[in-house]
Amino acid sequence: MSQRSCLSVILAAGEGTRMKSAMPKVLHAIAGLPMVAHVVKAAEAAGATGLALVIGHGADEMRRAAHKFAPKAETFVQEKRLGTAHAVLAAREAISKGYDDILVMFGDTPLIDAQALAAARQKLAEGVAVVVIGFRPPSPIGYGRLIEKGGKLVAIREEKDCSEDEKKIGFCNAGMMAVAGEHALRLLDKVGNKNAKGEFYLTDIVEIAGAEGLDVVAMEAGFESALGINNRAELAEAEAIWQTRRRREAMLAGVTLIAPETVYFSHDTEIGADTIVEPNVWFGPGVKISTGATIHAFSHLTGATIAENCEIGPFARLRPGADLRKKAKVGNFCEVKQATVEEGAKVNHLTYVGDARVGAGANIGAGTITCNYDGYSKFFTDIGEGAFVGSNSSLVAPVTIGKGGYIASGSVITESVPDDALAFGRARQRTIPGKGKELRERLASAAAARKKAAE
């Protein structure tokens, strides 16, 4: 089957009115990735060599989004919504290219199992003309039933058209199917619209193919794999299922999650074995963690790269471009953005490091900030190996702290500091005896006067 070509036609033209959103339904995200992109990933994992996205509502927005998650996909607009078969035929140009297999999928089923799609393709390779993917929901009410006889699928019956015996069938239509490319256009063109809604239903090709003497079968996928998303509540349910799957994968791969239900991964999170993740940690897109790291509670990471044996948090914020090398530490209430923290360096407390390099073994004191933005442009701060920056210091970029440099606490550093130099950037303290009492009395008198005037 590996040599068979495959086109995945993904139907993503629905308005999704029940989402109550101006954004196309299929662009709502699961684990930081649009749900339709999850469908694309499943199709690719099942061996799809071509992708056709059928779009409608928000077509321009869909094209822009698709360029990011499926840059090679062709897009086709379904101008009028006249049923699922009509939607598939919007991609006629792609279907006519002569693919061996055609997978028809829906953009709002983000949990679809790639293995089920691959199994459906295998049936096509064995000579079956149409494979319908079904599932067994907890209750079949509201779903079309898959009617089988002698191991063949003979019809997909909508519930309103089912007999009493057919309503008892628990095997239901998941909507997705695989069709042999040599038959696809012919079968689709035979679908009519003589029904109550006057629409062209994809499900009709089951009986059309059967009437031609072609083999049609159904195969079963898990209930979660067929879960369609129609509203925000179902979106949250799908997110929960995805997160549960991913947490289990991480733990089975050697990651310790102390309270798994409180940890949230993104679709592309990479996390190495022997990493410990404490409760209430959020991994945004683009996080890569090597082995042996510790991520303390209530940390939020996005677009960060973390080498082995680093320590993060608690309450740490790593933003895009944060690059932590071996045994680096970013501690309590610290934020790092577009900066490298080299091997063994420590950024321990209440600190902001942005657009910077913190050299190996350097120590950044509590309350230190790199002043990287002047309101118009960003500037770089370079802190050398083994440097010590005292608490409550402001490093006004562009500035360089040399190797082994020492910055006195409370300094505002505006000029570069040579290697091994000591820099003070603060006003000399002046103490005036009795002046504190005089100041308090003057301020109290003024406050009393204001209060009396207000009365």
Query: Mean of the pLDDT values across residues 174-201?
Result: 93
Q: Say whether pLDDT at 196 is over 80.
A: no
Q: Say whether pLDDT at 96 is over 80.
A: yes
pLDDT at 428: 83
CATH number for the domain formed by residue range(s) 6-226: 3.90.550.10
8 A C-beta contact, residue 181 and residue 209: no
pTM comes to 0.89
Identify the weakest region by mean pLDDT among 22-31, 163-172, 424-433. 424-433
pLDDT at 14: 82
Greatest CA separation found in the chain? 106
Give the amino acid at 377: S
pLDDT at 2: 58
All structural domains of the chain with their residue ranges: 6-226, 246-423
pLDDT at 439: 87
Q: Can you name the residues that pair with 217 across neighbouring β-strands?
A: 131
What is the set of active-site residues? 349
Share of the chain above pLDDT 70, in %: 100
Q: Say whether pLDDT at 289 is over 70.
A: yes
- To the nearest whole number, what is the mean pLDDT of the chain? 95
Give the model confidence (pLDDT) of 41-52 as tens digits: 999 999 999 999
Q: Say whether pLDDT at 1 is over 90.
A: no
pLDDT at 120: 96
Q: Say whether pLDDT at 241 is over 90.
A: yes
Share of the chain above pLDDT 90, in %: 86
Q: Say whether pLDDT at 211 is over 60.
A: yes
CATH fold of 246-423: UDP N-Acetylglucosamine Acyltransferase; domain 1 (2.160.10)
Q: Residue 79's pLDDT band (boundaries 50, 70, 90)?
A: confident
